[in-house]
Amino acid sequence: MHEMMPPHLDFEGQKTEEGRAVGPVMDTSFKDNDFEYLQIIKNEDLEELRELGSGAFGTVYHGKWRGSDVAIKRIKKSCFTGRSSELERLAHEFWREAEILSKLHHPNVVAFYGVVKDGPGGTLATVTEFMVNGSLRHVLQRKDKYLDRRKRLIIAMDAAFGLEYLHSKNIVHVDLKCDNLLVNLKDQSRPICKVGDFGLSKIKRNTLASGGVRGTLPWMAPELLNGSSNKVSEKVDVFSFGIVMWEILTGEEPYANMHYGAIIGGIVNNTLRPHVPASCDPEWRRLMEQCWAPDPAQRPAFTEIAGRLRSMSVAANQAKATK
Protein backbone atom coordinates (compact mmCIF):
# COMPACT_ATOMS: atom_id res chain seq x y z
CA MET A 1 0.00 0.00 0.00
CA HIS A 2 1.29 3.45 -0.84
CA GLU A 3 -0.24 6.84 -0.73
CA MET A 4 -0.75 8.43 -4.08
CA MET A 5 2.45 10.41 -4.35
CA PRO A 6 5.31 9.88 -6.81
CA PRO A 7 7.41 7.30 -4.95
CA HIS A 8 11.06 6.60 -5.54
CA LEU A 9 11.86 3.18 -6.94
CA ASP A 10 14.03 1.05 -4.72
CA PHE A 11 14.63 -1.91 -7.02
CA GLU A 12 16.94 -3.77 -4.64
CA GLY A 13 14.25 -3.60 -1.99
CA GLN A 14 11.58 -4.60 -4.49
CA LYS A 15 9.31 -1.60 -4.85
CA THR A 16 8.88 2.01 -3.88
CA GLU A 17 10.11 4.25 -1.12
CA GLU A 18 7.93 6.25 1.26
CA GLY A 19 5.50 8.93 0.10
CA ARG A 20 4.30 11.74 2.36
CA ALA A 21 3.36 11.21 6.00
CA VAL A 22 -0.27 10.65 6.97
CA GLY A 23 -1.83 12.86 9.61
CA PRO A 24 0.14 13.64 12.75
CA VAL A 25 3.54 12.07 13.23
CA MET A 26 2.97 9.04 15.44
CA ASP A 27 5.07 8.19 18.41
CA THR A 28 6.50 4.69 17.95
CA SER A 29 6.22 4.01 21.68
CA PHE A 30 2.63 3.02 20.95
CA LYS A 31 -0.13 3.82 23.44
CA ASP A 32 -3.62 2.37 22.99
CA ASN A 33 -5.27 5.80 22.85
CA ASP A 34 -2.94 7.07 20.12
CA PHE A 35 -5.15 5.49 17.48
CA GLU A 36 -8.78 6.45 17.43
CA TYR A 37 -9.79 3.88 14.78
CA LEU A 38 -7.40 1.02 15.45
CA GLN A 39 -8.65 -1.97 17.43
CA ILE A 40 -6.16 -3.82 19.62
CA ILE A 41 -7.02 -7.53 19.72
CA LYS A 42 -5.87 -9.69 22.61
CA ASN A 43 -3.90 -12.76 21.59
CA GLU A 44 -5.91 -14.84 24.07
CA ASP A 45 -9.09 -14.04 22.12
CA LEU A 46 -7.68 -15.75 19.01
CA GLU A 47 -7.73 -19.41 18.08
CA GLU A 48 -5.53 -20.69 15.24
CA LEU A 49 -7.17 -23.42 13.15
CA ARG A 50 -4.75 -24.06 10.29
CA GLU A 51 -1.83 -22.51 8.47
CA LEU A 52 -2.72 -20.91 5.14
CA GLY A 53 0.78 -19.95 4.02
CA SER A 54 4.06 -18.39 5.05
CA GLY A 55 6.71 -16.11 3.62
CA ALA A 56 9.60 -13.85 4.52
CA PHE A 57 7.27 -11.63 6.56
CA GLY A 58 5.70 -14.40 8.67
CA THR A 59 2.82 -16.87 8.64
CA VAL A 60 -0.90 -16.55 7.87
CA TYR A 61 -3.48 -18.70 9.67
CA HIS A 62 -7.19 -19.31 9.34
CA GLY A 63 -8.49 -18.75 12.83
CA LYS A 64 -11.34 -17.63 15.03
CA TRP A 65 -11.73 -14.36 16.85
CA ARG A 66 -14.48 -14.63 19.47
CA GLY A 67 -16.24 -17.21 17.28
CA SER A 68 -15.86 -15.46 13.91
CA ASP A 69 -13.65 -16.69 11.05
CA VAL A 70 -10.60 -14.49 10.51
CA ALA A 71 -7.18 -14.52 8.87
CA ILE A 72 -4.32 -14.02 11.34
CA LYS A 73 -1.01 -12.78 9.92
CA ARG A 74 1.78 -13.26 12.46
CA ILE A 75 4.79 -11.09 11.64
CA LYS A 76 8.26 -12.52 12.23
CA LYS A 77 10.45 -10.73 14.73
CA SER A 78 13.18 -10.67 12.07
CA CYS A 79 11.08 -8.11 10.16
CA PHE A 80 11.91 -5.63 12.90
CA THR A 81 15.65 -6.14 13.14
CA GLY A 82 18.32 -3.58 12.37
CA ARG A 83 19.70 -0.35 13.77
CA SER A 84 17.53 1.35 16.37
CA SER A 85 16.72 4.21 13.96
CA GLU A 86 15.63 1.69 11.31
CA LEU A 87 13.65 -0.22 13.92
CA GLU A 88 11.85 2.93 14.96
CA ARG A 89 10.99 3.77 11.35
CA LEU A 90 9.61 0.27 10.69
CA ALA A 91 7.53 0.33 13.87
CA HIS A 92 6.23 3.77 12.94
CA GLU A 93 5.25 2.56 9.45
CA PHE A 94 3.59 -0.56 10.81
CA TRP A 95 1.28 1.39 13.14
CA ARG A 96 0.66 4.14 10.62
CA GLU A 97 -0.34 1.71 7.89
CA ALA A 98 -2.44 -0.34 10.31
CA GLU A 99 -4.40 2.78 11.22
CA ILE A 100 -4.97 3.64 7.56
CA LEU A 101 -6.19 0.11 6.83
CA SER A 102 -8.58 0.14 9.77
CA LYS A 103 -10.36 3.16 8.25
CA LEU A 104 -11.12 1.42 4.95
CA HIS A 105 -14.63 0.06 4.49
CA HIS A 106 -15.83 -1.31 1.15
CA PRO A 107 -17.58 -4.55 0.05
CA ASN A 108 -14.71 -5.30 -2.35
CA VAL A 109 -11.81 -4.58 0.03
CA VAL A 110 -10.79 -7.19 2.61
CA ALA A 111 -11.75 -5.85 6.05
CA PHE A 112 -8.96 -5.08 8.50
CA TYR A 113 -10.11 -5.83 12.04
CA GLY A 114 -7.13 -4.93 14.18
CA VAL A 115 -3.65 -5.58 15.51
CA VAL A 116 -2.35 -8.06 18.08
CA LYS A 117 0.61 -6.71 20.03
CA ASP A 118 0.96 -9.45 22.65
CA GLY A 119 1.65 -12.42 20.35
CA PRO A 120 4.15 -15.20 21.23
CA GLY A 121 7.46 -13.62 22.28
CA GLY A 122 5.97 -10.14 21.99
CA THR A 123 5.36 -10.53 18.24
CA LEU A 124 2.85 -8.48 16.29
CA ALA A 125 -0.02 -9.82 14.20
CA THR A 126 -2.80 -8.41 12.05
CA VAL A 127 -6.35 -9.79 11.99
CA THR A 128 -8.39 -9.48 8.80
CA GLU A 129 -11.50 -10.86 7.14
CA PHE A 130 -11.25 -14.52 6.11
CA MET A 131 -12.12 -15.35 2.50
CA VAL A 132 -13.20 -18.97 2.26
CA ASN A 133 -11.74 -19.83 -1.17
CA GLY A 134 -8.45 -18.02 -0.69
CA SER A 135 -6.65 -16.29 -3.54
CA LEU A 136 -7.96 -15.99 -7.07
CA ARG A 137 -4.64 -17.49 -8.26
CA HIS A 138 -5.39 -20.61 -6.17
CA VAL A 139 -8.90 -20.87 -7.65
CA LEU A 140 -7.65 -20.43 -11.23
CA GLN A 141 -5.16 -23.27 -10.70
CA ARG A 142 -7.87 -25.65 -9.45
CA LYS A 143 -9.61 -27.14 -12.46
CA ASP A 144 -12.60 -28.28 -10.35
CA LYS A 145 -13.48 -24.65 -9.63
CA TYR A 146 -14.23 -23.74 -13.24
CA LEU A 147 -15.19 -20.10 -13.72
CA ASP A 148 -17.36 -19.39 -16.75
CA ARG A 149 -17.21 -16.07 -18.61
CA ARG A 150 -20.03 -14.55 -16.53
CA LYS A 151 -18.25 -15.33 -13.25
CA ARG A 152 -14.92 -14.05 -14.57
CA LEU A 153 -16.59 -10.76 -15.48
CA ILE A 154 -18.10 -10.44 -11.99
CA ILE A 155 -14.75 -11.16 -10.34
CA ALA A 156 -12.93 -8.60 -12.50
CA MET A 157 -15.69 -6.03 -11.89
CA ASP A 158 -15.54 -6.58 -8.11
CA ALA A 159 -11.76 -6.09 -8.11
CA ALA A 160 -12.15 -2.89 -10.16
CA PHE A 161 -14.71 -1.52 -7.68
CA GLY A 162 -12.34 -2.26 -4.80
CA LEU A 163 -9.46 -0.51 -6.54
CA GLU A 164 -11.65 2.45 -7.48
CA TYR A 165 -12.38 2.85 -3.75
CA LEU A 166 -8.69 2.55 -2.73
CA HIS A 167 -7.73 5.19 -5.31
CA SER A 168 -10.51 7.48 -4.04
CA LYS A 169 -8.75 7.27 -0.65
CA ASN A 170 -5.38 8.13 -2.23
CA ILE A 171 -4.07 4.59 -1.75
CA VAL A 172 -2.09 2.86 -4.50
CA HIS A 173 -1.82 -0.91 -4.10
CA VAL A 174 1.47 -1.36 -6.06
CA ASP A 175 1.37 -5.17 -5.76
CA LEU A 176 -1.82 -6.07 -7.57
CA LYS A 177 -2.00 -9.65 -8.92
CA CYS A 178 -4.33 -12.66 -8.62
CA ASP A 179 -2.44 -13.81 -5.51
CA ASN A 180 -3.68 -10.64 -3.79
CA LEU A 181 -7.32 -10.90 -4.88
CA LEU A 182 -9.35 -13.05 -2.49
CA VAL A 183 -12.57 -14.84 -3.39
CA ASN A 184 -15.68 -16.44 -1.94
CA LEU A 185 -17.44 -18.84 -4.32
CA LYS A 186 -20.04 -20.20 -1.88
CA ASP A 187 -22.91 -18.67 -3.84
CA GLN A 188 -22.78 -20.46 -7.20
CA SER A 189 -24.62 -17.63 -8.95
CA ARG A 190 -22.60 -14.72 -7.55
CA PRO A 191 -18.88 -15.03 -6.76
CA ILE A 192 -17.38 -12.33 -4.52
CA CYS A 193 -13.91 -10.89 -5.03
CA LYS A 194 -12.08 -8.53 -2.68
CA VAL A 195 -8.77 -6.70 -2.92
CA GLY A 196 -6.39 -7.83 -0.18
CA ASP A 197 -2.78 -7.77 0.95
CA PHE A 198 -2.27 -4.10 0.15
CA GLY A 199 -1.04 -3.09 3.57
CA LEU A 200 2.11 -3.45 5.61
CA SER A 201 3.98 -3.90 2.34
CA LYS A 202 7.08 -2.00 3.46
CA ILE A 203 7.47 -4.32 6.44
CA LYS A 204 7.50 -7.32 4.13
CA ARG A 205 9.88 -5.65 1.72
CA ASN A 206 12.45 -5.09 4.44
CA THR A 207 13.08 -8.84 4.64
CA LEU A 208 13.20 -9.62 0.92
CA ALA A 209 16.39 -10.39 -0.96
CA SER A 210 16.85 -8.61 -4.28
CA GLY A 211 15.66 -11.77 -6.07
CA GLY A 212 12.34 -11.43 -4.27
CA VAL A 213 11.19 -9.06 -6.98
CA ARG A 214 10.69 -12.00 -9.35
CA GLY A 215 7.21 -12.98 -8.29
CA THR A 216 5.81 -9.48 -8.72
CA LEU A 217 7.77 -8.44 -11.78
CA PRO A 218 5.28 -9.49 -14.51
CA TRP A 219 2.65 -7.17 -13.02
CA MET A 220 4.94 -4.12 -12.70
CA ALA A 221 4.37 -1.12 -14.95
CA PRO A 222 7.28 0.10 -17.12
CA GLU A 223 7.56 3.36 -15.17
CA LEU A 224 8.32 1.36 -12.01
CA LEU A 225 11.22 -0.34 -13.74
CA ASN A 226 12.81 2.35 -15.90
CA GLY A 227 13.55 4.90 -13.17
CA SER A 228 11.02 7.53 -14.31
CA SER A 229 9.80 7.87 -10.73
CA ASN A 230 8.15 11.24 -11.37
CA LYS A 231 5.59 9.43 -13.53
CA VAL A 232 4.56 6.90 -10.89
CA SER A 233 0.88 7.22 -9.94
CA GLU A 234 -2.26 5.19 -9.37
CA LYS A 235 -1.90 4.15 -13.03
CA VAL A 236 0.66 1.50 -11.97
CA ASP A 237 -2.32 -0.42 -10.52
CA VAL A 238 -4.18 -0.07 -13.82
CA PHE A 239 -1.23 -1.65 -15.66
CA SER A 240 -1.22 -4.53 -13.15
CA PHE A 241 -4.97 -4.92 -13.59
CA GLY A 242 -4.45 -5.48 -17.32
CA ILE A 243 -2.16 -8.40 -16.47
CA VAL A 244 -4.75 -9.61 -13.90
CA MET A 245 -7.42 -9.57 -16.64
CA TRP A 246 -5.14 -11.79 -18.72
CA GLU A 247 -4.70 -14.15 -15.74
CA ILE A 248 -8.48 -14.35 -15.28
CA LEU A 249 -8.90 -14.97 -19.02
CA THR A 250 -6.30 -17.72 -19.38
CA GLY A 251 -5.92 -19.13 -15.87
CA GLU A 252 -2.15 -19.01 -16.40
CA GLU A 253 0.72 -17.07 -14.84
CA PRO A 254 2.35 -14.45 -17.10
CA TYR A 255 5.82 -15.16 -18.54
CA ALA A 256 6.03 -18.36 -16.50
CA ASN A 257 9.05 -19.73 -18.38
CA MET A 258 11.04 -16.54 -18.82
CA HIS A 259 14.08 -15.40 -16.86
CA TYR A 260 13.36 -12.23 -14.91
CA GLY A 261 16.12 -10.28 -16.69
CA ALA A 262 14.34 -10.85 -20.01
CA ILE A 263 11.03 -9.84 -18.42
CA ILE A 264 12.48 -6.55 -17.14
CA GLY A 265 13.90 -5.72 -20.58
CA GLY A 266 10.66 -6.60 -22.34
CA ILE A 267 8.47 -4.54 -20.02
CA VAL A 268 10.76 -1.50 -20.03
CA ASN A 269 11.11 -1.58 -23.85
CA ASN A 270 7.38 -2.24 -24.21
CA THR A 271 8.09 -5.22 -26.43
CA LEU A 272 6.66 -7.73 -23.96
CA ARG A 273 3.01 -8.35 -23.09
CA PRO A 274 1.26 -11.68 -22.50
CA HIS A 275 -0.04 -13.51 -25.59
CA VAL A 276 -3.78 -12.95 -26.01
CA PRO A 277 -5.71 -16.02 -27.23
CA ALA A 278 -7.64 -15.57 -30.48
CA SER A 279 -10.81 -16.68 -28.65
CA CYS A 280 -10.70 -13.61 -26.37
CA ASP A 281 -13.82 -11.44 -26.35
CA PRO A 282 -13.04 -8.23 -28.35
CA GLU A 283 -14.34 -5.88 -25.62
CA TRP A 284 -12.35 -7.66 -22.90
CA ARG A 285 -9.25 -7.54 -25.12
CA ARG A 286 -9.67 -3.82 -25.85
CA LEU A 287 -9.98 -2.96 -22.15
CA MET A 288 -7.11 -5.25 -21.13
CA GLU A 289 -4.76 -3.76 -23.74
CA GLN A 290 -5.71 -0.20 -22.76
CA CYS A 291 -4.91 -1.06 -19.13
CA TRP A 292 -1.40 -2.23 -20.00
CA ALA A 293 -0.69 0.66 -22.37
CA PRO A 294 2.96 1.86 -22.16
CA ASP A 295 1.89 5.45 -21.46
CA PRO A 296 0.19 5.83 -18.05
CA ALA A 297 -1.91 8.71 -19.40
CA GLN A 298 -3.48 6.33 -21.93
CA ARG A 299 -4.64 3.89 -19.26
CA PRO A 300 -8.27 4.29 -18.09
CA ALA A 301 -9.14 5.07 -14.47
CA PHE A 302 -10.86 2.40 -12.38
CA THR A 303 -14.19 4.22 -12.49
CA GLU A 304 -14.21 3.73 -16.26
CA ILE A 305 -12.83 0.17 -16.01
CA ALA A 306 -15.52 -0.86 -13.50
CA GLY A 307 -18.24 0.74 -15.64
CA ARG A 308 -17.13 -1.07 -18.77
CA LEU A 309 -16.89 -4.41 -16.96
CA ARG A 310 -20.35 -3.84 -15.48
CA SER A 311 -21.77 -3.24 -18.99
CA MET A 312 -20.09 -6.40 -20.26
CA SER A 313 -21.46 -8.32 -17.26
CA VAL A 314 -25.02 -7.07 -17.86
CA ALA A 315 -24.74 -8.05 -21.54
CA ALA A 316 -23.48 -11.53 -20.58
CA ASN A 317 -26.43 -12.00 -18.18
CA GLN A 318 -28.89 -10.92 -20.86
CA ALA A 319 -27.33 -13.30 -23.37
CA LYS A 320 -27.61 -16.15 -20.85
CA ALA A 321 -31.27 -15.29 -20.13
CA THR A 322 -32.22 -15.43 -23.83
CA LYS A 323 -30.63 -18.85 -24.38
Share of the chain above pLDDT 90, in %: 52
**CATH assignment of the domain containing 244:** 1.10.510.10
Same domain, yes or no: 119 and 153: no
Whether residues 28 and 150 fall in one domain: no
Binding residues for ATP: 77
What is the rounded CA–CA span in Å between residue 209 and residue 217? Answer: 14
Residue 65 lies in a domain: yes
Measured distance CA(216)–CA(175) in Å, rounded: 7
**What is the rounded distance in angstroms from the CA atom of residue 120 to the CA atom of residue 113?**
19
In a domain, 1, yes or no: no
Domain membership of residue 13 (yes or no) is no
| 10 given a catalytic annotation | no
Structural domain contains residue 4: no
Same domain flag for 227 and 274: yes
Distance from chain centroid for Cα 168: 16
Helix (H) / strand (E) element for 94: namely helix 84-102
Lowest mean pLDDT among 9-13, 83-87, 137-141: 9-13
> Is the predicted pLDDT of residue 10 greater than 60, yes or no?
no
Report how far residue 239's alpha carbon sits from residue 262's, in angstroms, rounded to the nearest whole number: 19
Q: How far apart are CA 318 and CA 323, in angstroms?
A: 9
- Same domain for 142 and 269: yes
Structural domain contains residue 6: no
226-252 per-position pLDDT tens digit: 876 555 689 999 999 999 999 999 999
248 and 305 both lie in a single domain: yes
pTM of the model: 0.82
Q: Is residue 279 part of a domain?
A: yes
- Residue 49 lies inside a defined structural domain of this protein: yes
Catalytic residue among 158, 175, 179, 237: 175
User: Domain end: 66, 98, 129, which one?
Assistant: 129
Number of domains making up the chain: 2
Could you tell me if 162 and 273 lie in one domain? yes
Mark which of 129, 150, 180 sits at the end of a domain.
129
Residue 203 confidence (pLDDT): 41
Return the pLDDT at 318: 81
Do both 184 and 301 map to the same domain? yes
| pLDDT score for 33 | 43
pLDDT value of residue 292: 96
- Does a structural domain hold residue 9? no
- State the binding site: 77
Which neighbouring-strand residues pair with 59? Answer: 54, 74
Q: What is the pLDDT of residues 266-301, one digit of tens each?
A: 999 989 999 999 999 999 999 999 999 999 999 999
96: domain CATH number?
Answer: 3.30.200.20
Dmax (CA) of the chain: 66
Question: Identity (one letter) of the amino acid at 1?
Answer: M
Query: Do 176 and 297 sit in the same domain of this protein?
Result: yes
Measured CA to CA, the distance from residue 157 to residue 185 in angstroms comes to 15
What is the distance between the alpha carbons of residues 264 and 174, in angstroms, rounded to a whole number? Answer: 16
| Domain around 205 | 136-318
Whether 252 and 271 share a structural domain: yes
Same domain, 249 and 188: yes
Are 171 and 115 in the same domain? Answer: no
Task: Mark which of 129, 159, 188 sits at the end of a domain.
Answer: 129
Q: What's the pLDDT tens digit per position in 162-204?
A: 999 999 998 888 889 999 999 999 998 899 999 997 654 444 4
Q: Does residue 109 sit in the same domain as residue 173? A: no
